[in-house]
Amino acid sequence: MLHLADALGIVDKFWVVGYSGGGMHAWSALRYIPDRVAGAAMFAPMANPYDSKMTKDEKRKIWDRWSTKRKLMHILARRFPSLLRLFYHRSFLSGKQGQPESWLSLSTGKKDKTLLEAPTFNTFWEKDVAESVRQGDAQPFVEEAVLQVSDWGFSLSDIQMQKKEDQGVFEFMKSLFSQAEREWVGFLGPIHIWQGMDDRVVPPSATEFARRMVPGATVHKLLDEGHFSYFCFCDECHRQIFSTLFGTPQGPLNPAPESSEVAPEPAEETSPAYEEVAEQEQETSGLA
pLDDT in tens, 96-123: 766 666 656 677 889 998 998 888 888 8
Please report whether residue 20 resides in a domain.
yes
Please report whether residue 93 resides in a domain.
yes
Please report whether residue 128 resides in a domain.
yes
| Residue 113 Cα distances to 106, 201, 234, angstroms | 10, 12, 15
Q: Which residues does 157 contact at the CB level (< 8 Å), separation at least 6?
A: 53, 213, 214
Report whether 126 contacts 2 (CB < 8 A).
no
State the pLDDT at residue 61. 95
Residue 270: band (very low, low, confident or very high) from pLDDT cuts 50, 70, 90: very low
Domain of residue 111: give its range. Answer: 2-155+188-246
Question: Above 50 in pLDDT, residue 264?
Answer: no
Question: Above 50 in pLDDT, residue 288?
Answer: no
R_g over Cα of the chain: 30
Q: What percent of the chain has pLDDT over 90?
A: 53
Compute the mean pLDDT over every residue in the chain, rounded to the nearest whole number: 82
Rounded Cα distance, 179 and 256, in Å: 57
Please report whether residue 39 resides in a domain.
yes
State the pLDDT at residue 105. 65
State the pLDDT at residue 168. 62
Rounded Cα distance, 275 and 270, in Å: 7
CA 241, 247, 248, 253 torsion: positive or negative? Answer: negative
pLDDT in tens, 216-256: 999 999 999 999 999 998 999 999 999 999 888 777 766 65
100 or 192, which is more confident? 192
Q: Which of 65-79, 190-204, 255-269 has the highest mean pLDDT?
A: 190-204
Report whether 77 contacts 148 (CB < 8 A).
yes
Query: Which domain CATH number covers 147?
Result: 3.40.50.1820
State the pLDDT at residue 279. 41
DSSP string computed for 185-235: EE--S-EEEEEETT-SSS-HHHHHHHHHH-TTPEEEEETT--SSTTTSS-H
Please report whether residue 71 resides in a domain.
yes
Q: Which residues does 162 contact at the CB level (< 8 Å), separation at least 6?
A: 182, 183, 184, 185
Question: Above 60 in pLDDT, residue 131?
Answer: yes
Q: What percent of the chain has pLDDT over 70?
A: 77
Segment 140-164 mean pLDDT:
91
Quote the Cα angle for 251-252-256, to 5°: 120
State the pLDDT at residue 257. 59
Segment 39-55 mean pLDDT:
96
Segment 253-266 mean pLDDT:
52
pLDDT in tens, 174-190: 656 665 566 788 999 99
Question: Above 90 in pLDDT, residue 146?
Answer: yes
Please report whether residue 160 resides in a domain.
no
Please report whether residue 141 resides in a domain.
yes
Residue 195: band (very low, low, confident or very high) from pLDDT cuts 50, 70, 90: very high
| Residue 40 Cα distances to 45, 131, 159, 219, angstroms | 11, 29, 12, 12
Report whether 14 contacts 38 (CB < 8 A).
yes
Report whether 201 contacts 107 (CB < 8 A).
yes
Please report whether residue 37 resides in a domain.
yes
State the pLDDT at residue 249. 72
Q: Look at the chain and report how many structural domains it folds into.
A: 1
Q: Which amino acid is at 169?
A: V
Please state the pTM of the whole predicted model. Answer: 0.78
| Residue 35 Cα distances to 7, 12, 13, 16, 183, angstroms | 18, 10, 8, 13, 17
